[in-house]
Amino acid sequence: MDEIRSQRDDTPRHVAIIMDGNGRWAESRGASRLEGHRAGLEACREVVRSANELGIEHLTLYAFSLENWNRPKEEVRALMHLLETYLDEEIEEVMKNDIRLRTIGRNDRLPPSVRTRVEAAVERTRDNRAMDLLFALSYGGRAEIVDAARKLACDVEDGKLDPDRIDEKVFAAYLYAPDVPDPDLLIRTGDELRVSNFLLWQIAYTEIYTTPTMWPDFSKSHLIEAIADYQQRERRFGMTSAQVSAPTRPRE
């Protein structure tokens, strides 16, 4: 439904997705969790392609959380392997579609072979402009805030930053991807109502959409449904309905 792109100017600029339900999708078919993750990877391919077609500028996928390191070793290994597979198999498609691949998270914890591939893909795609594809890898929202606070404290200690100058804008500049606008829309699949330590700073005014659809079943039509739902919402950012529907917004 490319009408979303051509007929409306309220397409979300940044969509973030918590891809949940691979395990339950597999279980309901008597398949292994690994098969669920494999099917989840196929859904990733389709959603990346679709998001680009729909004119989304930034897509952030929660691929592996810091907490996920605590899963059984076999499952962690399988997920790392799937990530390598994605990078190996999709890089040409990503290049062809002018997509810039980036990551947020504590990359230093990734196995060296994964890290090397990730860094190569980030480097190779750095001049692509159609869409930013951010993989949250080894990512935690609280860890991101802690990492930002640490960097900021170092700058204060080195005399590069005056503590009196610290406000929300200055702080946000220390986050992992400071140039990326906050998500307009956060989608969570898999019938759960949690934010699971994802983009805690950035989702302050994000519209949240949840669906019972398990991630491997999530397709372009589901993405369009989520965007259509988002387009019905009135985003007030703490103001009144009358203020946001007025032809000119009050100055800050």
Helices (H), 59-98: 73-96
Report the alpha-carbon distance of residue 68 to residue 171 in Å, rounded. 27
Q: Judged by CB under 6 A, which of 15, 17, 44, 110 binds ligand FPP? A: 44
12: contact with ligand FPP by CB under 6 A: no
* Cβ proximity to ligand FPP, 121 vs 175, nearer residue: 121
Say whether residue 4 binds ligand FPP (CB under 6 A). Answer: no
Residue among 4, 41, 54, 104 that touches ligand FPP (CB under 6 A)? 41
Q: Toward ligand FPP, which CB reaches closer, 67 or 162?
A: 67
Per the annotation, the verdict on 97 as an active-site residue is no
Does the annotation count 107 as an active-site position?
A: no
Q: In sequence order, which residues have a C-beta less than 8 Å from that of residue 103 and are 6 or more positions away?
A: 118, 122, 134, 135, 136, 137
Residue list 62-91, contact with ligand FPP (CB under 6 A): 63-64, 68, 79, 82-83, 86
- 219, β-bridge pairs: none
Shortest distance, CB of residue 84 to ligand FPP, whole angstroms? 9
CA dist., res. 124 & res. 128, Å (int): 9
Spell out a b/e string for 67-96, using b for 16 or more CB atoms within 10 Å of the CB, else e. ebeebeeeeeebbbebbbebbeebbeebee
- Nearest distance, CB of residue 128 and ligand FPP, angstroms: 18
- Work out the number of other CB atoms within 10 angstroms of the CB of residue 152: 18
Residues forming the active site: 20, 68
Residues that bind ligand FPP (CB under 6 A): 19-24, 37, 40-41, 44, 63-64, 68, 79, 82-83, 86, 190, 215
